Amino acid sequence: MIIRDRSMNVTPYSSGCGALVSGIQLATLSDNELTSLRDAFAEHGLLFFRDQELPPAEHLRFAERFGSIVINKFFKATSDFSKIAEVRKEKTQQTNIGGGWHTDHSYDEIPAMGSILVARTLPKTGGDTEFANLAAAYDALPPAMKKRIANLRAVHSNEHLYGENGVYRHTDLAEQLGGMDRVGDATHPVVIKHPESGRNVLYVNPGHTIQFEGWDFTESRVLLDELYAHVNQPQFTCSFNWLPGSVTFWDNRCTWHQAKNDYQGEARLMHRITLAGTALTAFSFKLLLALLSHSYLLVLSF
């Protein structure tokens, strides 16, 4: 990629997942740096930052420079900033928020573009966040599987997690979550064309995808589990260890994440801002076939 600002460095975090951005402060980005950051975000879909001075007011200002904010219906906001959600686990609590693989807001009709997570209170060890790269995972699917899922759509929901009888209501997080009367579903293509990078991305996730449209639950489960096992491989995943001053910015259209719950007896508090996206469009498999057969015919005609 072309770096428009000489001070900013973008290096791959692992071979197939994320990039570490250094040489900038998110609170005082120049317009050039912001443009470079947009390019890096479109290319990698997952950016890690260290040693940031980003108090809540600056977190909000950075997010607003990048896009418009969507407020999460279920998490509590901080007392001073209604647009900053708390991802909180007290030392007395057993359950954490986001402890299984998921994509933020895939249950919305227009899913969130990205999430910016800032570490506020960290356990002495543990509490890493793991990520998966869904564009790389799609590329590596066998052609027969790509063909099989090409025209499928999937239903994404939040009811089984945050609804009246949802998983979280039976845990020690119940008191701090709201919105149980605002649950809902949305249906999206299983393979989307990423709005900025143009890459094909597998858009299903274990947290929110409940079944394929027009399929029954059990039949859906078998194929979903096969896809999930494919994504959850070391070549598409990475783990980020949080330090004071760490920030992560991920693209919800092409990643999964999960927070490790391996620090019982200690508190962890993160501040999250979620950025609004655009309606998702399906990747056109028919178009690809048409292009391939066209180039095949061109080759034959020479």
Measured from the CB atom, the residue of 5 and 178 that comes closer to ligand SIN is 178
| Shortest distance in whole angstroms from residue 89 CB to ligand SIN | 8
**Residues within window 257-276 making contact with ligand SIN, judged by CB under 6 A:** 257, 259, 270, 272
| Shortest distance in whole angstroms from residue 219 CB to ligand SIN | 29
Tokens standing for residue 57: 């007011």
Distance CA 67, CA 55 (A): 19
**Residues within window 74-103 making contact with ligand SIN, judged by CB under 6 A:** 87, 97-98
| Shortest distance in whole angstroms from residue 49 CB to ligand SIN | 15
Measured from the CB atom, the residue of 10 and 270 that comes closer to ligand SIN is 270
Strands 17-22 and 9-14: antiparallel
Q: Show the site string, 189-228: x = touches ligand SIN by CB under 6 A, - = not.
A: ----------------------------------------
**Residues within window 31-60 making contact with ligand SIN, judged by CB under 6 A:** none
Measured from the CB atom, the residue of 93 and 129 that comes closer to ligand SIN is 129
Measured from the CB atom, the residue of 93 and 220 that comes closer to ligand SIN is 93
Distance CA 188, CA 279 (A): 9
Distance CA 171, CA 203 (A): 28
Binding stretches for ligand SIN (CB under 6 A): 87, 97-98, 104, 115, 117, 129, 257, 259, 270, 272
